[in-house]
């Protein structure tokens, strides 16, 4: 009868180190007992086996892994720049063409997210506010209305409806004044320096509607 033996590597190593070692031949799940002349007296085989099963420390394993990845043929005609920084040790554990100037890609969002969490905190809320000046009498707002942008990327039709309803709740049905889009939170540049002009990029405006610069068109 065939006998299948399941062992973990740690158990095998412990057994081999604690007892005299004899070699066994395994053929298709069958364990064949060794002959008298197969006794192993040299520890070299055990040392080699142990070395093969040990994992490299974390920094070295990252270095070896990335190094092998960069040897792939897919990168033969590509520019690749990498820097891996150990935040705990505060040191670089891998770098390759780290000073090569390249166009920022979506991986830069990692730095944006980390910076936002560090400076703003996880509970920070982006706000788009509706303010007014003047007085309200008999349903008439005599004054100006300000839509104050706060870089809220998720402002949409539901939020815009809430703005309109808030004016109605105050009894306003007529505005005798101006409606202003307040984008004073940042400068007037809508695209970042060096951005490709033909890319479909969302604008960098404090006041957006569904990620587009059409807020006032929809509000009015």
User: Per-residue confidence of the chain (220 residues) as pLDDT tens digits?
Assistant: 433 333 333 333 333 344 444 444 444 444 444 454 444 444 444 444 344 444 667 788 889 999 999 999 988 888 899 999 888 889 999 999 999 888 777 888 898 899 999 999 999 999 999 999 999 999 999 999 999 999 888 888 899 899 999 999 999 999 999 999 898 998 888 777 777 767 777 778 888 887 777 776 666 5
Axis crossing angle, helix 9-18 with helix 44-53, rounded to the nearest 10:
160
Any domain includes 169? yes
SS3 110: helix
Q: Are 165 and 179 part of one and the same domain?
A: yes
Q: Residue 211: left (phi > 0), alpha (psi -120 to 50), or beta?
A: left
The two tokens of residue 161 are 């409806």
Residues 76 and 145 both lie in one domain = no
Same-domain pairing of 41 and 80: no
Yes or no: say if 143 and 132 are a contact pair by the CB < 8 Å rule.
yes
In a domain? residue 88: yes
Q: Is 149 exposed, middle or buried (0-12, 13-18, 19+ CB in 10 A)?
A: buried
**One domain for residues 133 and 184:** yes
Same domain, 148 and 174: yes
- 97-127 tens-digit pLDDT: 999 888 777 888 898 899 999 999 999 999 9
Task: Tell me whether residue 121 is in a domain.
Answer: no
120 inside domain = no
Query: Do 151 and 193 have their domain in common?
Result: yes
| Residue 119 within any structural domain of the chain | no
Q: In terms of domains, do 41 and 21 share one? A: yes
So what's the pLDDT on residue 4?
38
| 202 closest CA partner among 129, 149, 153 | 153
Phi and psi torsions of 78, nearest 5°: -120, 155
Give the SS3 label for residue 76: coil
Residue 68 lies in a domain: yes
Say if CB 179 and CB 220 are below 8 A apart: yes
Q: In total, how many domains does the chain have?
A: 3
**What is the helix (H) or strand (E) element at residue 211, kind and residue range?**
none
Instruction: Write down how long the chain is.
Output: 220
In the listed set 67, 84, 102, which residue is the last one of a domain according to the structure?
102
Both 16 and 72 in one domain: the answer is no
Is 70 within a domain? Answer: yes
- Residue at 20 is within a domain: yes
Q: DSSP character for 106? A: T
Which residue has 């505060």 as its token pair? 90
Judgement on whether residues 17 and 79 belong to the same structural domain of the protein: no
pLDDT at position 219 is 63
**Could you tell me the residue range of the domain that residue 98 belongs to?**
58-102
């Amino acid at each position: 009868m065939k006998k299948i033996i399941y062992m973990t590597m740690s158990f095998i190593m412990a057994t081999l180190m604690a007892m005299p070692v004899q070699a066994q031949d395994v053929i298709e799940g069958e364990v064949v007992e060794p002959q008298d002349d197969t006794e192993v007296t040299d520890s070299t085989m055990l040392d080699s086996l142990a070395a093969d099963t040990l994992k490299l420390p974390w920094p070295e394993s990252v270095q070896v892994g990335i190094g092998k990845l960069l040897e792939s043929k897919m990168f033969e005609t590509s520019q690749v720049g990498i820097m891996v920084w150990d935040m705990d040790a505060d040191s670089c554990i891998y770098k390759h063409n780290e000073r090569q100037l390249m166009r920022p890609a979506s991986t830069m969002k990692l730095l944006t997210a980390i910076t936002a969490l560090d400076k703003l905190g996880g509970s920070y809320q982006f706000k788009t506010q509706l303010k007014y000046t003047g007085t309200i009498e008999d349903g008439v707002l005599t004054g100006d209305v300000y839509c104050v942008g706060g870089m809220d990327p998720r402002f949409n039709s539901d939020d815009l409806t809430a703005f309109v309803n808030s004016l109605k709740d105050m009894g306003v049905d007529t505005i005798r004044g101006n409606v202003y889009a307040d984008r004073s939170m940042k400068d007037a540049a809508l695209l970042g320096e060096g951005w490709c002009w033909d890319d479909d990029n969302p604008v960098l405006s404090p006041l957006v509607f569904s990620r587009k610069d059409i807020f006032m068109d929809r509000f009015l």
